Every structure is written in structure tokens, then in C-alpha cells.
Structure 1
Amino acid sequence: MIALCKYSTSECESFAKMNASSKSGLFQPLRLPCGVIFKNRIAKSAMSDSLGDGHGSVTDDQIRLYRRWAQGGLALSVVGEVQATPHFPEKPGNLVLNDHSAPQAFKSLARAGSTNNAHLWLQLGHAGAMSDSLISRPKGPSELHLDGLVCGAFSLEEIRRLPEEFARTAVLAKQFGFGGVEIHAAHGFLLSQFLSPLFNKRMDAYGGGVKNRMRLLLEVVDCVRQAVGPNFPIGIKLNSTDQLKGGLRQDEALAIVAALDDTSTDLIDISGGTYFPGAPSSSDRAGSGPYFAEFAKRAKTKTDIPLMVTGGFKTAQQAMTAIEDGQADLVGLARALILDPELPKKWQTGNSDNPEFPLFDNPPEGGVTAWYTMQITRIAQQGGDLSPEDLPDAIEAYEARDQKRRETWNRAFGT
């Protein structure tokens, strides 16, 4: 197992003094195995901010957004679903980072997101079978013909090229000033599809038992590490379960955690669920507590790699308890930071106010996500807050914007 360094350096001690007013472990520094130090234990987990311009390029809205989150006091932000190519995007608002990308805009985003001693990572994405079919030709581990999901299968040659695609994007992220990368292996996207027996029906070295199904993920990790060197942080976002019948089980997820322990991974971000059409969204589920903290506690018996837990954290007490009870080393907040970007600062100064989560009356599938995504746009554009009553207008604006950018994407990339 990879030993987690203790906080004995002068930099770590400096952070501890900065946070001396807080007795909570939530505001103590965290050192990753590669040596990078987070000033506290609060992260903005990856979300599709949907602010790309349809050409895969960074926008001024994104720069303002990640600067605002950094100013709010968090330790880490992760930019969701940054693609290595334009061929398998999750949404037309995704960024594309490759040799054809304009460096300056990405560098500006990296600087903005590292304001206030925060770290900004890029999530290395590939939607695979879940790619937006209006701007791509979806492919996954296996050919599927299901209601709402039709895709082809990757050839063995195509699979073997994938680790290098992830690695090239990671190298550019490092060159352009980002603090690290997170490899997306959750929520039903490509690497998650390989891990899941529901998506992966292959009969070769990449299918069958969980040892074969995790092969591509481990190859991606190794290839990325070789490309970026030993001191650049690499995280993994991993499902605890697909929450689908026949999908990835918790015992299999624990086996994957144990296998990652033998790699140079610096952070494992525990989440769950998929965006499979018609599947229940973890973020929309009922309940007042964190969704995956209990699984993370079991995962801690399999690895010494720091664990980030994402999903369902709504109060300061929940976040503090997860850290102090050893369920998590880092707490991932998503919708809570959309409702209040200043939340980390408020919690650190002892402000016990927690965000008031909106209640929606019979929202359509995907409607709540659309509302939160448009609220992200309000933050980026320094506008006022949406109300629950704005849900129909938010959905309309969200869908109209995506439709416009799909046209742009197809013109730009010919997909």
C-alpha cells in the first residue's frame, strides 16, 4: 500500500496555523502521495458546467466561474468532462483539450481557478456509449441496442490507443498550469462502461471478470503517470455501484480500489450511479445524508490512497463528521457550491448557515440538472439566483443553448 505522508513540512504547518481558529478536521491540510498539499478538505467535485462555446474552447464565463469558486475558500475544483477529441463528448458545452487547442484560454482558466491557494484539476472525460448522439457516433465496450441507447463497439486496436489519448490531454493540462487531473471512471461514461458488466460484454482481455474489466482503467493510469511524471497529481473518479441491476457491484468496486492501491494514484473520488437513460440520478435522490460515505469507509480498508467522497453533503456537520469519523479525507461538494459559492469560507469562520436546497414539484427527467446548470451560468455571469418557479424557463434555456451549440459543434468538427 502507498503510505500517506503525515503533515510535518513547514508548508503544512503554515496551513495549520492559518486554520488554527477552526477545530474541525475539515479545515486541516491534506498531503497527497505525490507531495501536493491541499489547504483544507473541501472540494468542488466535477460537474458539467456546460459553459464551453461549442468549439470545445474555454469561455470568459468559465474563467469567472472557477475564480469565484476559488475565492470562496475551497481547496480543489475539478472541471467536468474535458475531452481529448471532439468525437465522444457528453455535451456540446464540453471542453476539448488537444494539440489543436488554443493555449492562452486554458492557461487563463488555470490561473483563475488557482486563486486563493486553490487547486484546479481537469477531469479527463470520454463519454463512450453515452456520447451525445446528435454530435457523435457513440461507441462503448460492446455494441448495444437498447431503448434510448444505441452504440457500436470499440475494436481492440481502438481500445489500445485510448490510454495514450488520456495521457496527451494530461500532459497539456500540466503544461498549461492546471494543478492535476482526474480520470473519469464513474457515472456510466467510457471507463465506467468497461468496469460494468451491464455495458461490457466483451470476451477478450478487456471483458469478463472484474480483473479484465478494470484492465483499461489501470492502463490509463499507468500511461498518464508515465507521461506527467511523479509529482503531478492524478485522481480517479470511481463508482461504488452503478445502481443498476446487472451493473457494477460494491464488492467489485472494492476490488478495483484494492488494485488502484498498487498504482501511483493520488486520490480516489468515490461516487455512484449512471446517466443511463431512465436511470435514477444519485443527485436527485431523496434523503438528507451523504450517499456513499459508508462505502468509502469500507474502501479505506483496501487502500491508503486518500479518498474523496462526493454526493449528498448538504451541511457543515455532515462534512465534518465524514472527515472526523474517517469516512473521507476530502469532501466533494457539487450542488451545495452552486447554491452558495462562499460556503467553505462561511463554514471555516463558524457560520453554521447551510444552503437551502430548492424543492421542485414533479420535475421532468433531467429538469433539476438543467436548473442547477443554468444557476451555474448565473454565477458565471454574476447574475441573480434562480427560484424553483423558474424551472420551466431554465429547462427551455438549457435545451435551446445545447441545440445552438450542437449546430456549432457539427460545423466545427464535422461529427
Structure 2
Amino acid sequence: MHDSLTSEQILQRPLILPCGAVLKHRLAKSAMSDSLANGQGDPTAAQIRLYERWAQGGIALSIIGEVQIDPHFPEKPGNLVLSQDSNDQALKALTGKASIDGAHLWPQLGHAGALSHPPISQPKGPSALEIGDFRCQGMSIDEVQQLPDLFAKAAAHAKAVGFSGVQIHAAHGFLLSQFLSPLFNRRTDGYGGSVEARCRIILDVINKVRSAIGSAFPIGIKINATDKLEGGLTQNDALEVVRLLDGTSVDLIDISGGTYFPEAKATSDASGKGPYFLDFARRARSRTTTPLMLTGGFKSREQAADAVASGAIDVVGLGRAMVLDPCLAKTWSMDGGRGLDFPRFESAPQGGITAWYTMRLTALAEDRENTFPIDLISAIRDYEDRDAMRCEIWQQRFGRFSSP
């Protein structure tokens, strides 16, 4: 611990971001795919209520996961979409309800690329790939060079409807993460090869976004410490990415890891006792003066406070912990703030635990978490049934696509 500060005092200190925006303390609700949009890319009353609850619970920053810049490459049919056809009235209702008590609300701007949801997309990544049963098309040079404008337009739209910042999604195996990964990115032009070349599109995106939203609006970015895939992004390459990001106008670098590549084991399904990738964050700290956020594996206030007090990170990202207790920020601000009891699942199928937490999010959004004790199999069934229904709605709104 620092000097004589208690763990709650360490976490309650405000953070001034490089752009001048202030986070009121050091706890953030990290990006998760909540799957609560209406299937047409717009917010629902339940989604608005969910982010209102986290703001009422005292969080400094909430990030809405998987907000799409292009409806043709979504992660899931429950994603929000920022486009010219968006329901801006609903988006303003979302930002208004979720920005109370000094809370920030940022959309995580993304493009699923090769991991786009096949029933409503034609997956397309940096390079054409066939790995086992996985396959995707490759992007043309023109399609790559259109990306900065797409991200910039979405960021400007986010600002116009009341979001207080944006996060650029370059982690977890989605498109910008794919550009960083040698497994996905086999290009031989200026966007493939060395780490610098693989990072080029991300730097272009950041610069274009900054031009679109001005100098005082926060830009965050989420990156992988490692893909945890053979042939994917290594920690050494990820450290070089951090160094390159240090030369940009990014305000907050959010460190995570792992991918949603088929058959890859999710980092968040691990049963470890400590924060994931904290050692990487310590190494990254020497490569940048940009504030660092670390997401994943925090299960107690003491773990969070120790990580911040050590100087390795500036912000603690909480995902599943915030699903179990939406008032966790207030709970941990009190003397004697308790830890959390995470549910244990035996022999969970791939994606099953994510489905359980996603349906728990739905219960929070509908103010019925006290009657939620749903079993894993039922959660998976309900999650898949809802996705199937929303795929039909998505196709009616944005057009039909088939897998390549």
C-alpha cells in the first residue's frame, strides 16, 4: 500500500486523463457484450436500465462492449450499431440515464472482422484463412483504408448523442486485434509483416478518431497482452504495440487477453486467484506514460488496490464482478468492503459460462436478479434462442448474408 492510505482510499482517488477528462475514482465497468440491443442495433429499455444501475452503483466509467461501426460485421445480433440509421433518441436516453453522478459512459467501437457472426455476416479479416473448420475472406486494400473513416464517423456520432468518450476495440480476436496477430494477418502490403506494419491501421484509426472528436474527448483502446493462440500475438510484440500507442493521443490503454477464436479457451473462464496479465502491465508501464487499465481476474478490493498502489496500473476493469454486484463500486468505497463469491461451474461447454453471465446481465437489466438462480443449461438455451430470434430481426433491418 502507499504510505498510510487504506485500500478504499487508494481506489477513490480521481484520475485526470491526458485529454483533461476526469474519472472520479479508479474502478471501471469493463466492456462486455451485453446482447441487450433490440436486434436492429438500437438500445432497449432493459439496456438503458442496466447502465443506469451501474451508474447508480457508483462506477466511474462504464464501457458498452461491441458497439459496431458497420452492421455487416457484428459480433452478435444483440450489439448496438452507430450508423446514420440509428435511433438517436434511444441512444440519448441511454447516455442520459447512464451518466448520472459523474459516471462516464463510453461505447467500445468495434468491427468483428473474421469473427463476425456467420448467420448475419460474411466474415472477413485482414487475410483469407482456412484453419480447420474456420474460414474467412480477406479484406481489399480499399476496405482496409476505409476503416479509419468508419471509426471516426462512429466516434463523432457517439459524441453527438451524449457519450463522454470512446474505446477502440483492438483485443479479443476481433478485427483490429486480427491485424495485430500474425495468425490472422498474413498481408504482404504495408499493413502486414512487422509489428509496426501490423499496428499501422490502428494508429491511423486513432488519428482519424482524434481529428473527428477534438482534443478534449477521451479515447481509450483495448489491446491484448497475448492472444493465447499458437502463432498469435506474443507478449513481446504486445509491448511494442504499447510503445507505439505511447506516441498517439490515446488517453487510456485497457489491457486484456485471449480471443474468441473457435476452440480457444477463454481467459475469463480460468479459475486463477489473481488478476490476469498484471505482470504484463508492470512491463508495459515502462513503455508508456499513458494511463493503464487492467481488466480481468480481480476478485477483491485488496487485489484492486494493490495493483493501483504498485503503480503498474491506474484503473481497475471489472466485468463479471459487476454482474454479480452492480453496486460494487460503492461497496468497495466503504470500510470493510467485502469480496465476491463467484459461482463455480463443473464441465461447462465452450461459451456456456459467458452465456450464464449474459443472462444474469439480462436479469439485472430487468431488476429481477434476486430470482435469477438459473442453471447453466437453461442459460445457454435462453441465450441461443434469443440470438436466433434477433438474427431474423437483424437480417430484416440490415440485409441477408451467408457464410463464405
Task: Tell me, yes or no, whether TM beats 0.5.
Answer: yes
Give the corresponding residue for 1:64. Answer: 49
Give the corresponding residue for 1:150. Answer: 135
- Letter matched to residue 177 of structure 1: G
- Letter matched to residue 299 of structure 2: K
User: Residues of 2 paired with 1:201 and 1:146: CA distance?
Assistant: 13
Give the corresponding residue for 1:312. Answer: 297
The alignment status of 1:100 with 2:116, answered yes or no, reads no
User: Residues of 2 paired with 1:238 and 1:67: CA distance?
Assistant: 27
Note closer, same or farther for the CA distance 1:23–1:346 as it changes in structure 2 (3 Å cut).
closer
Give the corresponding residue for 2:103. Answer: 118
Contact 1:358/1:387 (<8 A) preserved: no
The alignment status of 1:48 with 2:33, answered yes or no, reads yes
Structure 1 residue matching 2:369: 3-state secondary structure:
coil
The alignment status of 1:177 with 2:166, answered yes or no, reads no
Contact 1:283/1:312 (<8 A) preserved: yes
Unaligned ranges ≥5, structure 1: 1-19
Unaligned ranges ≥5, structure 2: none
User: Residues of 2 paired with 1:315 and 1:103: CA distance?
Assistant: 38
- Letter matched to residue 83 of structure 1: Q
1:386-405 equivalence runs, <5 A: 390-405=375-390
Equivalent residue in structure 1 for 2:75, among 90, 93, 101: 90
1:388 shift after superposition: 6.5
Give the corresponding residue for 1:9. Answer: none
1:384 shift after superposition: 2.7
How many residues of Structure 1 are paired with residues of Structure 2 in the alignment? 396
CA deviations over 1:109-165 (Å, ceiling 9, x no partner): 111111111000010010000000100001000001123421100000110001000
- Identify the range of structure 1 (385-394 vs 206-215) with the bigger mean alpha-carbon deviation: 385-394
Structure 2 residue matching 1:354: 3-state secondary structure:
coil
CA deviations over 1:296-319 (Å, ceiling 9, x no partner): 111010000000000100111100
Note closer, same or farther for the CA distance 1:52–1:254 as it changes in structure 2 (3 Å cut).
same
The alignment status of 1:359 with 2:307, answered yes or no, reads no
Give the corresponding residue for 2:251. Answer: 266
Contact 1:186/1:238 (<8 A) preserved: yes
Note closer, same or farther for the CA distance 1:230–1:237 as it changes in structure 2 (3 Å cut).
same
Equivalent residue in structure 2 for 1:165, among 142, 150, 173: 150
User: Residues of 2 paired with 1:395 and 1:351: CA distance?
Assistant: 36
User: Residues of 1 paired with 2:144 and 2:104: CA distance?
Assistant: 31
CA deviations over 1:281-330 (Å, ceiling 9, x no partner): 01001211001111011101000000000010011110000000112100
Contact 1:28/1:40 (<8 A) preserved: yes
1:403-414 equivalence runs, <5 A: 403-414=388-399
Note closer, same or farther for the CA distance 1:63–1:389 as it changes in structure 2 (3 Å cut).
closer
- Letter matched to residue 116 of structure 1: D
CA deviations over 1:218-239 (Å, ceiling 9, x no partner): 0000000011110000000000
The alignment status of 1:74 with 2:54, answered yes or no, reads no
User: Residues of 2 paired with 1:252 and 1:359: CA distance?
Assistant: 34
For the aligned residues, what is the CA RMSD?
1.3
Equivalent residue in structure 2 for 1:342, among 324, 327, 349: 327
Note closer, same or farther for the CA distance 1:71–1:387 as it changes in structure 2 (3 Å cut).
closer
1:252 shift after superposition: 0.7
Give the corresponding residue for 1:253. Answer: 238
Structure 1 residue matching 2:42: 3-state secondary structure:
coil
Structure 2 residue matching 1:214: 3-state secondary structure:
helix
Contact 1:360/1:388 (<8 A) preserved: no
TM-score normalized with structure 2 length: 0.96
Contact 2:167/2:220 (<8 A) preserved: yes
Give the corresponding residue for 1:134. Answer: 119
- Letter matched to residue 296 of structure 2: G
Give the corresponding residue for 1:204. Answer: 189
